[in-house]
Amino acid sequence: MPHQIVWSNPSGETRVAGLVDKLLENRSNAEFRSSAPTDFIQSAEMATPAVVNIRALIETGNSIWGGGALTGSSGSGVVVAPEGYIVTNHHVVERSKDIKVTLADKRTYQATLVGSDPSTDIALLKIDEINLPFVIFGNSDSVKVGEWVLAVGNPFNLESTVTAGIVSAKGRNINILSGAASIESFIQTDAAVNPGNSGGALVNTVGELIGVNTAIITESGSYEGYSFAVPSNLVKKIVADLREFGAVQRAFLGVGIQDLDSETARDLGLPNAEGVLINRVATEGAASDAGLKPGDVVVGIDNTNVRSTAELQEYIGRFRPGEVVQVDYWRENRRLRSKIVLKDVNNSTKVARATGNELEEELGLAMRNLSREEQRKLRLQGVMVNSVRRGSLVYETNMQPGFVITSVNGKRVNNVSEAVEAMKSAYSQLSLDGYYEGESDLYSYRFRKSD
């Protein structure tokens, strides 16, 4: 049935016209009635109670126990579980010592940082409350360009603000996240997002969370037409990792990749330039084990078409080491398929669970995560030194058990996983900064790792 339009002329005559009829006939005085506008009321009523305001404070000066000046940032967050788990952006709570969450009903809570992932700009907070209103994760893969969406947040500290727009694009990479392992495959919308919206909800018209608002492209510092959100399917995986492990379990194909251009696609015999060209295969990596080679073009993962590097990175980012994906790739004018067992950055298929004892032999210290009570009492994020082995590198610095490490070589650490990773990745020199309970001075222990 052709698309139909209801129109009426000045004399009151009403008729249904086909689209071609409408375009060809001279109806300059006609008044056209489009379909009824999308009803956003239910979606807004479902999402707004679950969106919170976040105030993250950073204390400057030498004393963290009192007296320092406070600076900070404000943003938004989304309650994703009734027992107090809240998703926000990493950049909203980065380096913060004190995080306060204000619910839509004005109740304010002290929050603890469960974990944070700079490579996706996602962080997970926890407050001590139950039976909170929360949003349900939607399927961001099913989101269509042109679909209506709502952005809910606290721009300019204006509480519970709802704006509407459409999905303008998917799989958008805007190069704002640093690091080789960063994942940018944003949902782009034209819903108005301003400073303070970061970490807020992007929901569909049935109130499901399809993204976490993260960035805008602007020259003025405020909204200028487009905003970007981390897709909910990736957020859901990051949240699950942070809840279970305190750190993200990142899986890799073990390849170097680049987008295709039309000339390369033509040379390889591809029907179009959609796909991801492999330019390097890591030795003993997941792709190498499955027989993939430089020059292969990945065109699908698990029966889903892959058109760009951003889409491929996002899809692989949803998996943990040891999980299996089905990869479709193009080689010598043929479409082939392999099952690949994903690995971590160290080519292991095991999920890494940091115990705090990983560096006991090399450096001589064992660590543990701070309890919630310790975090609240000390107003610190970091790791506690459990023990120092006599005669070890750390022992020679005179570090004592009970020391709370807050940064490694200037990089903030919030849990054992982050601390271990930072110490292992340091080239030679190590600087462990932190505090002892009851003392206001910052201590810094510096030493060289053994060769």
Q: Which domains does the chain have, with CATH numbers?
A: 4-33 (no CATH), 38-248 (2.40.10.120), 255-341 (2.30.42.10), 365-448 (2.30.42.10)
Q: Could you read off the pLDDT of 426-443 as tens digits, one per residue?
A: 778 899 999 999 898 999
Mean pLDDT of the chain: 85
Half-sphere exposure of 415 (CA within 13 A, CB side): 21
**CB of 380 within 8 A of CB of 404?**
yes
With bands split at pLDDT 50, 70 and 90, how would you rate the model's confidence at 246? confident
Length reported for the chain: 451
0.75 surpassed by pTM = no
Which run of H or E residues covers position 59? strand 51-59
Amino acid letter for position 176: I
pLDDT at 356: 78
Q: Give dist(CA 257, CA 280) in Å, integer.
A: 7
Can 198 be counted among the known catalytic residues?
yes
Q: Mind listing the pLDDT tens digit for each residue in 188-238?
A: 999 998 888 899 999 999 999 999 999 877 666 666 678 999 999 999 999
- The CA–CA distances, whole Å, from 50 to 31, 107, 216, 233, 265 equal 41, 12, 22, 19, 46
CB 140 within 8 A of CB 187: yes
Range with top average pLDDT, 34-48, 165-179, 240-254, 281-295: 281-295
283/277 Cα distance (integer angstroms): 18
What CA–CA distance (Å, rounded) separates 17 from 47? 39
- Spot the catalytic one: 198, 227, 288, 407: 198
Contact 186, 174 (CB under 8 A): yes
* Percent of the chain whose predicted confidence (pLDDT) is above 70: 86
In this structure, the strands spanning 297-301 and 255-259 are unpaired
Residue 132, phi then psi, degrees to nearest 5: -85, 150
Of the residues 73, 76, 91, 417, only one is catalytic, namely: 91
Which is more confident, 250 or 5?
250
CA–CA dist 224, 218 (Å, integer): 6
Annotated active-site residue in 98, 121, 328, 433: 121
The question of whether 91 is a catalytic residue gets the answer yes
